[in-house]
Structure 1
C-alpha cells in the first residue's frame, strides 16, 4: 500500500528549507531545485511563498509570533509592568532562537554586507515595533506628558536598535548556556528604561563596564 503523501503547508516548507540549509551549509540554488528535491511542484511553492528569500523572512516572523504566543499563555504576564514584559520577551525569544542557533547564525552571517543581513529582519522589525507600542503603558505616557507620535516612534526605533545589538552580542557569545547574553539583556534593558525616565547614570555605567570588559577579553 502506497504511503500517503503528507499535505504541504507553509510550516512544512519552512522546515524543509531550514533542514536543507543546515545539511548543505548553503541555501537552495533556486525554487525549481528546492521543490524538485522535496517532491512538490513550483506551482505549490508559489501558493505559499513568492521567493526563497521570503521564507527566510517568514522564519523570523515565526520566532516573533511564537514568542508572543508563549508570553500570552502565561496568566501573570498581563500583570507585568513594561520593563518586566520586555525582559520576558527577550528571554523567551532568545530561548527560541538558541534552539535554532545554527540556522540563525548562518542566515544572519551569509552576506559580508551587514545591511543585507539586517534586511532579512525587515518584516520582523515591523512586528517588534508594534509589540513595543502595545506594551508602552499609560503610566509611561503620563510621565512623558509631551510624548507625541514622533516620540513614540523614536522609542520603538531605539528599542529595535537595542534588539539588533542584543542579537549581535548573542551571535558572538561563546559563554556556557549563553549566560553572558542573559547578563547583557538585563543590563541593557535596565539602562534603556532608566534613560526613558531620565535617571540613567548608575545603570549606564554598569552596562558600559560590562561591554568594555567583554570587548577587552576578546582582544
Structure 2
C-alpha cells in the first residue's frame, strides 16, 4: 500500500525553512535545492511563495500575526487602553522572538546592509502598522486633535522606529531572561505616550538615564 503523501501547507514550509537555516547557518541556495532536500515539489512551494526571500519576510509577519492572535484570546485585552495594548503587544511579541531567538539573530545579523535588513522586515512593518491602526481609539484621536494636529501616519512611523530600536536592544541584550529588554519596553512605551500627551520630561529623563547606563557603563 502506497504511503499517503503529506499535504504541504504554508506553515510546514516555513518550519522546514527555519530548520534548514538553523542547521546550515545559511539560507537555501535555490528553491530547487530547498524542495529537493525536504522531499516536496517546486510546484508546491510556488503555491505559497514566489521566492526564497519571500519566506523570510513571511516569517516575521507571522510573528506579528501570532502575537495579535494570542492577545485577542485574552478576554480582558479588548478593555485595555491604547498604552496597555501596546505594552501587551511588545511583551508578547518579544516572547515569541525569544522562543525563536537563534533564527532571528542568525538572519538579522547576516545582513550588514541596513536596507536589505529592512526589506526583510517589510512584512512585519505592514502587519505592525495595521495593528497600530486598530488600537487607536476614538477618544484618543479626539484628545490628540485638541492638543495638536494628530497624524495617524506619523504615529505609525514613530512607533515603527521605536519597534526597530527595541529589536536592536533585544539583539544586544545579554541579561538573564532578557530582563533589561523588559525595562526598555516599559520606559520607551511610557515615553511615547507621554510625548503625545505633551507631558514627557520626567519619563524622557528616566529613559535617557537607562540608555546611557546600558550603552556607556556596560560596554
Q: Do structure 1's residue 95 and structure 2's residue 95 form an aligned pair?
A: yes
In the TM superposition, what are the counterparts of 1:119-158 in structure 2 within 5 Å?
A: 119-145=119-145, 151-158=151-158
Q: Give the distance between the partners of 2:102 and 2:187, measured in 1 at CA.
A: 26
Aligned residue in 2 for 1:8: 8
Q: Per-residue deviation at 1:204?
A: 0.3
Q: Give the distance between the partners of 2:161 and 2:108, measured in 1 at CA.
A: 16
Q: Per-residue deviation at 1:145?
A: 2.1
Q: Per-residue deviation at 1:136?
A: 1.1
Q: Per-residue deviation at 1:127?
A: 1.3
Aligned residue in 1 for 2:210: 210
In the TM superposition, what are the counterparts of 1:154-193 in structure 2 within 5 Å?
A: 154-193=154-193
Aligned residue in 2 for 1:73: 73
Check whether the contact 1:108–1:118 (CA below 8 A) recurs between aligned residues: no
- SS in structure 1 of the partner of residue 190 of structure 2: helix
Aligned residue in 2 for 1:55: 55
Higher relative contact order (CA 8 A, sep 6+): 2
Q: Do structure 1's residue 31 and structure 2's residue 27 form an aligned pair?
A: no
Q: Give the distance between the partners of 2:34 and 2:207, measured in 1 at CA.
A: 45
Q: Do structure 1's residue 18 and structure 2's residue 18 form an aligned pair?
A: yes
Q: Do structure 1's residue 197 and structure 2's residue 209 form an aligned pair?
A: no
Q: Give the distance between the partners of 2:49 and 2:149, measured in 1 at CA.
A: 38
Q: Give the distance between the partners of 1:4 and 1:50, measured in 2 at CA.
A: 26
Structure 2 gap segments, 5+ residues each: none
Q: Give the distance between the partners of 1:32 and 1:58, measured in 2 at CA.
A: 19
Check whether the contact 1:64–1:124 (CA below 8 A) recurs between aligned residues: yes
- SS in structure 2 of the partner of residue 50 of structure 1: coil
Q: Give the distance between the partners of 1:125 and 1:110, measured in 2 at CA.
A: 19
Say how many residue pairs are matched: 218
Q: Do structure 1's residue 110 and structure 2's residue 110 form an aligned pair?
A: yes
Q: Give the distance between the partners of 1:17 and 1:158, measured in 2 at CA.
A: 32
Q: Give the distance between the partners of 1:94 and 1:110, measured in 2 at CA.
A: 20
Q: TM-score, normalised by structure 2?
A: 0.96
